[in-house]
Structure 1
Amino acid sequence: MKKYRNTIEFEVYGAYALFADPVTRVGGEKTSYHIPTYEALKGIVESIYWKPTIMWIIDAVRVMNPIQTETKGIRPIAYNGGNELAYYTYLKDVRYQVRAHFEMNYNHPELEQDRNENKHHNIAKRMVQRGGRRDIFLGTRECQAFVEPCEFGIGEGYYDMMTGEVSYGFMYHGITYAEEAILEEDRDKMTVRFWRPVMKNGGVIEFTRPEDCTEKRHIRPMQRKIFGKNNFTGLEEFTSEEVED
């Protein structure tokens, strides 16, 4: 597995996780996938450090703890008011090692002067040391999580002695928004992606890059965001941030 120049590696862990299929998020019962989705891990990385100048690519995840589930009775707020009873099936006692790297987002020419790889990489590594800039969640808000630096592949994992492969079939991968579209066919659109993950020896799942997902659907037209002094913190902050962080 290739390790890129702008790589960060970290462990994320928590008491519960809920990586639900987006189709089930409207209401009613929710059941977690047995493994984290690309989109959920990307959200965690962006909570550690995010700037529109860069795009995070999730390379791999290593499942460290045994996959276990627990069902809870929940009383969420119903769409027509009041509460309703629903059963959510969570993953419990989860721990993952994650490897990710960033690339420049060339869909934002207005941020060209902020394309400083060393600066963003150094800040990202410091944010991993600090446990992230924003709160970390494993799939949903109620699943609080914590981040620590690690070396990917080092340390004892539950699936280290596993032989062969485990296929998880057809699964949600993530959403490509207009400002992160790489393929011409995905530009100015919101695109949902799917893939077929496989867990290999050591509990490692290597992710397909978003633009390499062949099974996808365009949801709706979408215009990319344009960042500048009037609708963002301003490019001056990028320069001072390197010193402050």
Structure 2
Amino acid sequence: MVWKVAHRNTIEFHVWGDYGLFSDVLTRASGEKCSYDIPTYEALKGITHSIYYKPTIVWKIDAVRIMNRIQTERKGIRPLKYGEGGNDLAYYTYLRQVSYQVRAHFEWNENHPELACDRNENKHHNIAKRMVERGGRRDIFLGTRECQGYVEPCVFGSGEGYYDNSGEIPYSFMYHGITYADEAVLPEDKGQMTVRFWKPVMQDGVIQFLPPEECTFKRHIKPMAIKKFGRDEGNFIGLDEFAGGEADELGE
């Protein structure tokens, strides 16, 4: 089944790798790490950022399709002892042979009015699609750095997935992601770092994500200021960044 595209600036890609580790960020500091059965919104957003990112836009992950059977593998790891030096012994539980189809679209980041001159939908969409074809701009990681991933274009819903026609599979309370101050939409989240949680449901292998602003289970972690961009700040130069060769390569 091929799912109808709801947004005109949608990208669809297949991401896969030998291992994945998608865990609750609140448990990452402990010695033992155990992956969720399914990728988190935040991890998929990070993968999309590695494909293409600009502060002008905010990527929204619409859905993920689980292509392979969910299976795990436990490994003995020797992580560093924080503050003590040397190594410790721990067991990490990874997902094996992960494969996902992802659908995402972008919206303008209204918290950065100084970048309004960069709001060219066709430009960003075309570059994002080309970056999917090239496997991303930066290295792809499946939840954590030691889990290398790979990206290629796909049509969301195409091909055979392990959980096709499997019905509804509900999951318990899980980590959704973090809303940083510069991406906050709701008034109560402005000027805050906010962690979000939700209860996902997989239907025939597909998980449709709640938008971050619709997650009702959340907690403000700490106050956070919005970083400003622009020529005056010396950290954003718009189309000038493609001067000197890359402009011709990207067709700008």
Smaller-chain TM-score bracket: over 0.9
CA distance in 1, matches of 2:37, 2:113: 39
CA distance in 2, matches of 1:109, 1:244: 29
Per the alignment, residue 9 of structure 2 pairs with: 6
Name stretches of at least 5 consecutive residues in structure 1 with no aligned partner: none
> How far 1:153 moved relative to its partner?
0.1
2:159 is equivalent to residue 155 of structure 1: yes
CA distance in 1, matches of 2:24, 2:154: 29
Which aligned pairs between 1:208-223 and structure 2 lie closer than 5 A?
A: 208-223=210-225
Aligned pair partner of 2:25 in 18, 22, 32 = 22
> How far 1:233 moved relative to its partner?
3.9
Point out 4+ residue stretches in structure 1 off by more than 6 angstroms.
none
CA distance in 2, matches of 1:2, 1:196: 24
TM-score normalised by L of structure 1 = 0.96
Which aligned pairs between 1:1-245 and structure 2 lie closer than 5 A?
A: 3-79=6-82, 80-162=84-166, 164-201=167-204, 203-229=205-231, 230-237=233-240, 240=243, 243-245=248-250
Q: Which AA in structure 1 matches 2:174?
A: M
CA RMSD of aligned residues (A): 1.3
Q: Which AA in structure 1 matches 2:108?
A: M
Deviations 1:159-179 (A, max 9, x none): 1131x2111110000000000
Query: Identity across aligned pairs (percent)?
Result: 68
Aligned length: 243
**Contact 1:49-1:124 at 8 Å conserved across structures:** yes
Name stretches of at least 5 consecutive residues in structure 2 with no aligned partner: none
Q: Which AA in structure 2 matches 1:19?
A: F
CA distance in 2, matches of 1:113, 1:238: 14
Deviations 1:147-190 (A, max 9, x none): 0000000001111131x211111000000000000111100000
TM-score normalised by L of structure 2 = 0.93
1:211 alignment partner, SS class: helix
